Amino acid sequence: MKITAFLAEQALAHEDGSLYITSGFLERVQYPAYPISRAQLAVAVHVLVAPEEIRASYVLTVDVRGVTNEVILGPAAVMLDAHPNGPKSADGELVLNCVLGLRDILLREPGVYRFLVRIDLSETVELKLLADIGPNPRRVVLQANPAAAQIRERQEAVAAFAAGDIDGAGGLFEKLRVQHPGDPDLANSLGFIRLSQNRIDESLSLFDESEHLGYSEPAILLSNRGAASYLAGRYLEANELFRHSLGARLVSSQLWLALITDSGIEPVFLNDVGEFLVLNLLNSAWAAYRSGEPGITNADALASMVAEVGDETSRTRFQASLSAMAAAR
């Protein structure tokens, strides 16, 4: 498999195998002051797949890292469907093209920003964008960087949850919610507690409330709702929610989410966006198995992704879920 990728202001992927950069390649941007949020840019990806590597689909992800390697955005994800009779290169390789539009890219400071383009978490291309001080050479739409919300004092509740005291954590989050009404983060956190307690209707109500209040992490909400739908036996709905979570906006790089196992769900702490991707692919595979529908990716590709997880605790838990699914089949 060969991957070529570019950053551009605008690009277009045509179904005949052509890839067009319609409005300028991007290697450097200049702004008079930072932080600033760039409203839009495009990641154009050209993939050549050898005949022996062709399978039904691939997962393309892009995440953006800042000057100090902090997560700016990610993972933005899209499915690449591979049709054996699709366009071919001169050497007989299957041609897959994709343009992934990224919005609201926060440039906190001058320096080099990295865009990591991955296929199934294994094949990686790194693109670099230099953000510099100076007049803006292009006419682009900009928007102001909104002030970051103050982080609430929730360490005690989070610590209780991490220690396994789910009921105690629920009581603390309830108390915080009374003290800070209208906080979308607290509504989502309490919803996750209720999900962990198998109180499905309450959890869904709280997730709806969090979204209504403007929660900034749609990928997390989609994954949480997918887990609730799975517990309720709505497997087709759950699969769609997990799939959609892969392409939704994710800001947090460390978070708690629900991992599906043979006995239900269990809360798992995720260390990075790669683990977020693997967890939701596993959850989607479970939902697809229960519903009888085809999964996003095949078992070999999923096993390879799990094996690539760097954190030993997360990898062990993912492998246990994958082994349980294989045994159930």
Amino acid at 147: A
Q: Is the pTM of this model over 0.75?
A: no
CB 49 within 8 A of CB 69: no
pLDDT in 10s for each residue of the chain, 329 residues: 888 888 988 777 776 667 777 666 788 888 888 888 887 788 989 888 888 888 878 888 888 999 999 888 767 777 787 877 888 888 888 888 888 888 778 898 999 999 999 887 677 889 999 998 875 444 333 333 332 233 345 667 887 888 889 999 999 899 888 888 888 888 999 999 999 999 999 999 999 999 999 888 888 999 999 999 999 999 999 999 998 888 777 766 568 899 999 999 999 988 877 888 899 999 999 999 999 876 666 778 888 889 988 889 999 999 999 999 999 87
**How many whole angstroms separate alpha carbon 320 and alpha carbon 262?**
9
C-alpha closest to that of 248 among 282, 227, 277: 277
C-alpha closest to that of 248 among 102, 116, 147: 102
| Radius of gyration of the chain from its Cα atoms, rounded to whole angstroms | 21
C-alpha closest to that of 279 among 287, 270, 292: 270
**How many whole angstroms separate alpha carbon 199 and alpha carbon 104?**
35
Give bridge partners of residue 126 from the DSSP assignment: 116
**DSSP letter at 263?**
T
